[in-house]
Amino acid sequence: MNKLQLHRPLDHFAVLPVLLQMDGELIFRSVGGLPCFYYPDGKFCFQVTAYLQWLCIKKNLSLKNNGGTLRQYAFHLSHLVRFLYVNQMSCIDLTDSIFELFIRGLEVKVNGLRLRGNPKVREIGSRSLDFIFFTCKALGYPNFVSAIGIVQGVKITPEQRRQFREQYHKLEWYHFCFPSGSSDNVRFPIGEADVSHSFDNEQSNTLKRE
């Protein structure tokens, strides 16, 4: 299995059709540097390549410096593609708990040190949700990633990013399992039942000491 980079840039002369005029003439756009994506076994990955092409054409993202923004997105998506490949899954096989497992894997420690800080984990998670949404929508499941979907990701608006900067900074999508954006310490939510149970135990231990 290929453990190296999963994408390669198209050559300098590569073009894509972006418009069909009334007279039948096709208008092309230069896409030299656009990442072309492959699975770890070397086979062509249509889904990620289609997603990157869509971003390039529809959102007019930069391809400067051998791929620009889209090259960075390709690196982000490499983590999800490897995870799906190893587990012999596709996007449509994901569940909310499996996606959370993927995020927890990004927070792994080696010799007691995190390989990625919280901001990087959040960026990868957000980009992965956008890709999953794009792919599943194309397959006929537009609500697969949504607040009440199979994968419960929430699309973040520009207004929400401005209003809740710490929670949603640089994110297009949010999921409850994302680590905090304010530090590299992973914080897990504590339910009321857990708090009550902890308080009862503390009271019991105090009475025993008395």
User: pLDDT at residue 183 above 80?
Assistant: no
Q: What is the mean pLDDT of residues 42-68?
A: 86
Question: Are 31 and 93 contained in the same domain?
Answer: no
According to the model, what pLDDT value does residue 166 have? 75
Answer yes or no: do 111 and 17 share one domain: no
Half-sphere exposure of 154 (CA within 13 A, CB side): 13
How many independent structural domains does the chain possess?
2
Residue 127, domain extent:
89-194
| Residue 158 maps to a domain | yes
List pLDDT tens digits, range 156-169: 998 888 888 778 88
Classify 135 as helix, strand or coil. Answer: helix
With cut-offs at 50, 70 and 90, classify the pLDDT of residue 206: very low
The model's pTM: 0.80
Once rounded to an integer, what is the mean pLDDT over residues 150-179?
90
Is position 54 within any domain?
yes
* DSSP one-letter string for 191-205: -HHHHHHHHHHHHHH
pLDDT band at 87, cuts 50/70/90?
very high
Q: Is the pLDDT of residue 86 over 80?
A: yes
The alpha carbon torsion through 97, 103, 106, 112 (nearest 10 deg) reads -80
Do 183 and 199 form a contact (C-beta atoms < 8 A)?
no
- pLDDT, position 61: 77
Residue 208 lies in a domain: no
Is there a single domain that holds both residue 1 and residue 61?
yes
DSSP notation for 72-99: HHHHHHHHHHHHHHHTT--GGG--HHHH
Averaged confidence pLDDT in the chain: 83
98 lies in the same domain as 6? no
**Same-domain pairing of 99 and 67:** no
Domain-located, residue 202 = no
In a domain, 28, yes or no: yes
- Cα separation of the two ends of the chain: 62
Asked if residue 200 belongs to a domain, the reply is: no
Q: Can you give the pLDDT at residue 19?
A: 72
